[in-house]
Amino acid sequence: MTYSRRAFTAGLAAVLLLGTAAPVLADNGRPNALQQRLDLLTTVDGVPGATVHVRDRNGRTTTLTSGTAELGTGRPMVGADGTYRIGSVTKTFLAVTLLQLRVDLDSPVERYLPGVVRGKGEGAALDGRRITVRQLLQHTSGIPEYSRFFDWSKPFPDDPTGYLDLALVRKPTGAPGENWSYSNTNYLLAGMMVERLTGKDFRGVTEERIIKPLGMARTYWPKKTEYGLRGEHAHHYGVHPADPAAGVVDITRFPGYELGASGGLVSTPADLARFWRGLDSGRLLPLSVVRSMSADLRPVPGEKFSYGIGIGSIPLTCGGAALAHSGDVPGMTTLSGRDLSGRQVTVFLTANTNSPDRDRHLSEVFDAGFCAR
**Cβ-contact 255, 181 below 8 angstroms:** no
Model confidence over 215-249: pLDDT tens digits?
999 999 999 999 999 999 999 999 999 999 999 99
- Structural domains of the chain sorted by starting position, each given as residue range(s) with its CATH number in brackets: 5-89+205-371 (3.40.710.10), 95-201 (1.20.58)
> 207: how many CB neighbours lie within 10 A of its CB?
17
- Greatest extent of the chain over all pairs of C-alpha atoms, in Å: 65
Query: 268 with 83: CB under 8 angstroms?
Result: yes
pLDDT at 26: 54
pLDDT band for 303, please (50, 70, 90 cuts): confident
pLDDT score recorded for residue 8:
36
Query: Quick one: angle between helices 356-371 and 33-42, nearest 10?
Result: 160
* Cα 365 to Cα 271: distance, rounded to the nearest angstrom: 19
SS3 64: strand
What pLDDT digit, counting tens, does each position of 319-329 carry? 999 999 999 99
Alpha helices by DSSP H, 101-183: 109-112, 133-137, 161-168
Residues in the chain: 373
* Arithmetic mean of pLDDT, 327-344: 95
Q: Is the pLDDT of residue 9 over 60?
A: no
Mean pLDDT score, 110-133: 98
Least confident of 156-160, 178-182, 221-225, 274-278: 156-160
Residue 21 in this model has a pLDDT that exceeds 60: no
| pLDDT, tens digit, 9 for 90 and up, residues 258-297 | 999 999 999 999 999 999 999 999 999 999 999 999 999 9
Q: How confident is the model at residue 153 (pLDDT cuts 50, 70, 90)?
A: confident
SS3 of 127, please?
Answer: strand
Burial of residue 257 (number of CB atoms within 10 Å: 0-12, 13-18, 19+): middle
Are 350 and 332 spatial neighbours (Cβ–Cβ below 8 Å)?
A: yes
What is the Cα–Cα distance from 305 to 11, expressed in whole angstroms? 12
> 205: Cβ–Cβ under 8 A, 6 or more apart, which residues?
97, 194, 195, 198
- Return d(Cα 207, Cα 214) in angstroms, integer: 10
